[in-house]
């Protein structure tokens, strides 16, 4: 039986990753700050799927919390076969107006924690010659994001970093895969103080759709998973469109979303 560790497992895409891995009869390690939510999810998954779920309540912004998760990822006696780096948050507003301490935390969670956990996973997995790391990014990585400047930049880092490490690790039996969801119905936008009334419903996906596509692509050994044909087209278009055009378009979309 395999074991999957998921960060940000208390809600949204992370919770759905945990559920789908449990459905596939993988044991799961549930990582987030919200211990009560994790306890509820543990009971639900063990009851529904007969697997073992482990709660690891940790704040990845704290040195101790991040170290505890790194240690669990690298444990030899209880190997973790799949690591899903899903924990992240976004901020909204003009960069000059936002609390810089919040921006600092955003970079440390979205970038530093992901890098450290990817490293811990690769050290352990390459020694065994097997395993997978899934780094959850965003379509926001494909163009500058006015009014979400730091968030888009952190995800651009995740894209470049993950694809580079994919190439390094694949000859060692480890697949490092990037997942880039588009608009997804989760708590993310509410927590960022961002609503999206100008975005039509057909552009949204559910966490179930995102994770189903991601796990299918992981099974196929893909380097990148962009769930949804429309999202794949948008990513391709953003990649070839001049930055001056994409940043203005992104800025207009975000301005219509302000609440």
Domain boundaries, the chain: 3-256
pLDDT band of 207, cuts 50, 70, 90: very high
Contacts of residue 207, defined as CB under 8 A and 6 or more positions apart, other chains included, come to 12, 13, 15, 16, 184, 185, 186
Residue 102 annotated as catalytic: no
97-115 mean pLDDT: 98
137 is catalytic: yes
Confidence of residue 252 (pLDDT cuts 50, 70, 90): low
The residue from 49, 142, 151, 183 that is catalytic is 151
**55 neighbors 27 (Cβ within 8 angstroms):** no
Distance from C-alpha of 21 to C-alpha of 82, rounded to nearest angstrom:
10
Is residue 247 over pLDDT 50? no
Task: Please report the pLDDT score of residue 1 as a whole number.
Answer: 85
Has 49 been annotated as catalytic? Answer: no
Q: Which of 26, 155, 225, 238 is catalytic?
A: 155
- CATH 3.40.50.720 describes domain 3-256: yes
Report residue 116 as tokens. Answer: 């450290």
pTM listed for this prediction = 0.88
Instruction: Tell me the mean pLDDT in the region 67-84.
Output: 97
Note the pLDDT tens digit of each residue in 175-193: 999 999 988 776 665 565 5
Parallel, antiparallel or unpaired: strands 131-136 and 3-7? unpaired
Alpha-carbon span 130 to 147, nearest angstrom: 40
User: Which two structure tokens, joined as six digits, stand for 180?
Assistant: 């880039």
Coil vs helix vs strand at 1 = coil
The DSSP output letter for 194 is B
In terms of phi and psi (left: phi > 0; alpha: psi -120 to 50; beta: otherwise), the region of 193 is left
């Amino acid at each position: 039986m395999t074991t999957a560790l998921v960060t940000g497992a208390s809600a949204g895409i992370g919770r759905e990753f945990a559920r789908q891995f449990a459905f596939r009869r993988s044991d799961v390690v549930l990582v987030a700050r919200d211990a009560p939510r994790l306890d509820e999810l543990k009971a639900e998954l063990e009851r529904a799927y007969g697997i073992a779920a482990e709660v690891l309540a940790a704040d990845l912004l704290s040195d101790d919390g991040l170290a505890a998760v790194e240690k669990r990822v690298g444990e030899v006696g209880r190997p973790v076969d799949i690591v899903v780096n899903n924990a992240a948050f976004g901020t909204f507003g003009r960069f000059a107006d936002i609390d810089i301490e919040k921006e600092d935390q955003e970079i440390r969670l979205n970038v530093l924690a992901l890098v450290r956990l990817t490293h811990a996973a690769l050290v352990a997995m390459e020694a065994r010659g097997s395993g997978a790391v899934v780094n959850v990014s965003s379509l926001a990585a494909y163009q500058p994001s006015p009014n979400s400047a730091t968030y888009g930049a952190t995800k651009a880092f995740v894209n470049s970093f993950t694809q580079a490490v994919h190439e390094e690790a694949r000859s060692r039996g480890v697949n490092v895969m990037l997942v880039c969801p588009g608009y997804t119905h989760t708590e993310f936008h509410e927590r960022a103080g961002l609503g999206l009334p100008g975005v039509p419903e057909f552009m949204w996906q559910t966490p179930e759709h995102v994770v189903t596509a991601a796990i299918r692509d992981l099974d196929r050994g893909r380097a990148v998973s962009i769930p949804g044909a429309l999202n794949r087209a948008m990513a391709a278009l953003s990649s070839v469109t001049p930055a001056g055009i994409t940043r203005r378009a992104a800025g207009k979309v975000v301005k219509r979303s302000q609440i």
